[in-house]
Amino acid sequence: MTILGQLALWLALLLGVWGAVVGIVGGRRGDPVLIRSARRTVYALSAVIAVAALSLVVALLKDDFNVAYVASYSSRNLPLAYKLSAFYGGQSGSLLFWALVLSLFASAAQLLTSRRYAYLMPYVAAVTCVIAAFFVSVSVFAANPFTRLAYTPMDGRGLNPQLQNPGMVIHPPMLYLGYISIAIPYAFSVAALLTRKLDIGWLHAIRKWTLLSWMFLSVGITLGMWWAYVELGWGGYWAWDPVENASLLPWLTMTAFLHSVMIQEKRGMLKRWNVVLIGISFMLSILGTFITRSGIISSVHSFTQSNVGYFFALFLLLGGVFMAWLTYTRWDLLRTEARLESALSREASFFFNNLILVGIAFSVLWGTMFPILSEAVRGTKVTVGPPFFNQVNVPLGLALLALTGIGPLIAWRKASPRNLRRQFVVPVLAALVMGTALFMLRLSSFSAAVAISLGAFVVGTILQEFVRGVGARHRLHGEHYALAFARLVGRNRRRYGGYIVHLGIVVYFVAFTGLAFKKEQEASLKPGESVTMRSPYGHTYTFTHVGVSQYEALNRFVSAASVEVAEDGKRLGVMTSEKRQYVDSFGRQTFEPSTEAAIRSTAREDLYIVFAGAVNGTEEAVYKFTINPLVVWVWIGGAILVFGGAVTLWPGGGPSEAARRRAVEGYQVSLAGETVDA
Amino acid sequence: VTGLDRRAFVRRAAWLGLAPAAVAQAPQGSTRDSAAARLWQPDMAGRPRGEITDYENDPFIVGVERRLRCTCGCNLDIYTCRTTDFTCTYSPALHREIVALVQQGKTAEEVIAAFVAKYGETALMAPPKRGFAWAAYLLPGIVITIVGIVLGAVLVRRSRMAAVAAVAPAPDTAGLSPDQAARLAAALDRLES
């Protein structure tokens, strides 16, 4: 199977090059034969890369330990789900996964894109083929998953214990789907620049792709936080780790794009900015993969490190220069169609929203790369950890939260004082009431109080919009309130889906404030001994050590330490945290022991218990107890965010026929003065 | 724990293989002096640990540890590393070093200075606010502020221009090529500014 896989990789490389050439040449000449060939090459590329991927999966399932990748990331006793996830658990497998998903997305783009954008498709095929060829070439020349060993080990090393978690089965693919799907909007933007047809058409063509990509990134980031929380055992979910930062960067710029694209659609403004944002988002997605895979910056997530970094650095450099040249040479074609009419308008608020989002992205990138810069400039490596990122980003995050409420309420073009009064009185009152209540409750964290007050402001704006919309439908159409609500959302999915997303953002922010009130304590307890902790809400938890049991499981030896938990004297139950020593099928230890936290979640707070180890080999256990307020709301916020995205994405929520007609008319008008043949 | 709860608990503990420990459990504090039973496979329960002392939870020491990075290469601060990565041998040693410095009567800043002197600036969780490292803190804020001011100025200028254009009659650009129209618009812009 590995020979078949190797052949498939080489064939994919050739197909990638062929697709790029015929796509560009066919597009420029308008040659239908070459254009058809480019499209079919994309389909063939998917099929061939799928064969390569299948070959690796078969090697994993058959425990072919002569294959270096299988020996490094799998073992005989690894459960089936993790054998499958080992496909993208290591470096070379994940690069092949990248190429596979990209080729599938590229095929979907060719299949599903409306014929009205046929003029872009050969270039889209060419760009996706170039990107796929890059990943395949890295697989072939630097990180070949089919490399064989000179001998065959009896068993493999197994998958890193931290990756043996259900969250880790879903989280990396989701994040990769997010990263990879940005390549499709990027390919369309390059195609639009190459064809010089920079009307609104290409934006309509990529609308669903950008939303899809943003949703995958959102799901991937949230699942990543969940994985870090349940698996890494430190009681937190975001550590400003370089790899976490790398996943946040394209999310921020894509979020900025989803807002700025509205201004181009409505007013024909920000054309240059939108092209730049898509280019930056794609580059950041490659940078994310580069940081994860190159090991250039040390990270708890860097499970694999090697010399693939040179390939990525070169690709980033060439891609950046190409995009800059393309944008520069089309600069005049990207002139704005309309002028801003007032600084008090939705357009203006979106400008600032973009400034803050891209500003946060810049500060995160700056902080992430600063250790390298410092080493290059001063020869001294410094650490840029959570204190830095919190200091720089918390004020920006609060400003963004405020704009989340302000933006949707201000009128397009120009807001009148009457409009402002009508829209803002209720939300501002909500914020003031909440702020006063928190002040009277003597909330100890100022930034938490501001975040919650701003959250009340944004929720006020959202509720006001829903209440007014439902009320209007009820009055005009005589609909029942529930029906009016359903139709209100169903008939304007983009707008109201957006409000739901904003609600998810508020829930996120409020959940993040819980970090300011986190409580931690270590204790060593003999069986029967207890320790008490006071929660930020004033409750007293009593943790009583029950004992440590040890037993063998499928591919591990488990030491389970149990604690009986009581809240204000009322028994809540037993929580069990584990130390897991993973072993291969011969009972040999494969990794350092890992820790599984015991977590009890409520809407109010999480109890998080970690068994740190046994005192001198006895049942006396060392525990770390953490009371984590509001954590469950992080996951709920993520779910609301994704639900809102799904509402927006649901078919029927796209641009209306009238909008499409306007777009086409605009296109024809712009052609008239350019003597370009339509 | 009530009698009923205790029976339910013993059943659950027995299911988990904890019956001996469950039966032995007693009210809080009463077994402080009892010897804990030896584990079946002690070496499978992670690195052997010592008993937790007051220093491990001391807010002052924890506060200092949060500002210092573990030297094991994990990117975590000393406190988080020693209470998370229980295989790390560096963070417990660094913790002991901090405790020793605190016992000598050193302040937080003196402990941190001692660590920087010994391990370099990379021992800090955030760059020191001096010299080149100021760039780390200031650049994002400066860039965002400058762009924000420029953006604000452009927005105000353009909104004023739009207000002027709204009262002026629209120029008749019929018959002009796009290039001519663009030059005319640029000239009008210059005139208005």
DSSP state of A615: B
pLDDT confidence of residue A335? 85
Span of A245-249, B20-24, B143-147 with lowest mean pLDDT:
B20-24
- Could you give the CA distance from residue A354 to residue A272 in angstroms, rounded to a whole number? 13
**Edge-to-edge strands of the sheet including A540-552?**
A530-534, A540-552, A556-567, A570-582, A594-596
Token look-up 């302040």 returns B107
Closest by Cβ to A581, choosing from B44, B57, B67: B44
Task: Sort out which chain A residues have CB atoms less than 8 A from B131's CB and list them.
Answer: 378
pLDDT at B31: 40
Q: Which residue is associated with the tokens 């109890």?
A: A607
The sign one gets for the Cα dihedral A168, A171, A175, A177 is positive
Question: What is the C-alpha to C-alpha distance for residues A171 and A175, in angstroms, rounded to an integer?
Answer: 6
Q: How far is B87 from chain A (nearest CA, A)?
A: 7
Q: Averaged over B143-167, what is the pLDDT?
A: 82
The first and second tokens of residue A651, run together, are: 């078919």
**Mean pLDDT split into 10-residue runs, chain A, 678 residues:** 91 96 94 95 97 96 94 91 90 92 96 90 96 94 92 89 80 87 94 90 88 93 91 87 90 95 86 93 89 62 63 91 93 82 83 93 93 85 89 93 90 82 91 94 90 96 93 90 91 91 96 94 95 94 96 91 96 95 86 90 96 92 95 96 92 58 48 38
Full-model pTM: 0.85
Res A671: pLDDT: 39
Give the pLDDT confidence score for residue B175 in this predicted structure.
Answer: 63
In chain A, % of residues over pLDDT 90: 64
Handedness of CA A132, A136, A137, A142 (dihedral sign): positive
3-state secondary structure A325-345: HHHHHCHHHHCCCCCCCCCCC
The residue of chain A with its CA nearest to that of B124 is A383
Nearest to B83 among A355, A547, A612 (CB): A612
In 3D, which of A10, A179, A189, A167 has the Cα closest to residue A101?
Answer: A179
User: What's the token pair of residue A136?
Assistant: 């395949």
Listed by number, the residues of chain A in 406-465 with a beta carbon closer than 8 Å to a beta carbon of chain B are: 414
Phi-psi region of A326 (alpha: psi -120 to 50; beta: other; left: phi over 0): alpha
Question: Which residues of chain B neighbour A242 with C-beta distances below 8 Å?
Answer: 75
Q: Which one of B36, B143, B155 has the shortest CB-CB distance to A527? A: B36
Interchain CB distance below 8 Å, A619 and B32: no
Lowest mean pLDDT among A438-452, B31-45, B130-144: B31-45
What is the chain A residue with the closest CA to B177? Answer: A673
Residue of A276, A351, A354, A522 to mutate, testing the B interface (most B Cβ within 10 Å of its Cβ) = A522
A346 close to B (CB below 8 A) = no
pLDDT recorded at residue B10: 41
B46 pLDDT above the threshold of 50: yes
Query: Would you give the distance in Å from CA B174 to the centre of its chain?
Result: 61
| B105 Cα to chain A: minimum distance (Å) | 24
Give the ipTM. Answer: 0.80
**Helix ranges restricted to H, A268-385:** 271-294, 308-329, 346-378
Integer Cα distance of A279 and A358 in angstroms: 13
Distance CA A56, CA B55 (A): 51
Tell me the per-residue pLDDT of B3-19, one tens digit each, with 9 for 90 and over: 334 444 444 444 444 43
List of chain B residues whose C-beta atoms are within 8 Å of the C-beta of residue A523: 52
The predicted structure's pLDDT at residue A657: 57
CA distances from A160 to A165, A209, A283, A387, B5 (A): 10, 33, 29, 29, 39
pLDDT at A207: 87
Retrieve residue A79's tokens: 């459960």
B30 pLDDT tier (thresholds 50, 70, 90): very low
Which two structure tokens, joined as six digits, stand for B171? 């120029």
Q: What is the pLDDT of residue A200?
A: 83
Task: Please report how the helices A308-329 and A271-294 are oriented relative to each other, as an axis angle in degrees rounded to 10.
Answer: 170
Helix (H) or strand (E) holding A205: helix A201-231
Query: Which of A225, A235, A167, A237 is closest to A599 using CA atoms?
Result: A235
Supply the pLDDT for residue A660: 56
Closest CB to A613: pick one of B32, B45, B147: B45
pLDDT band per the 50, 70, 90 thresholds, residue B22: very low
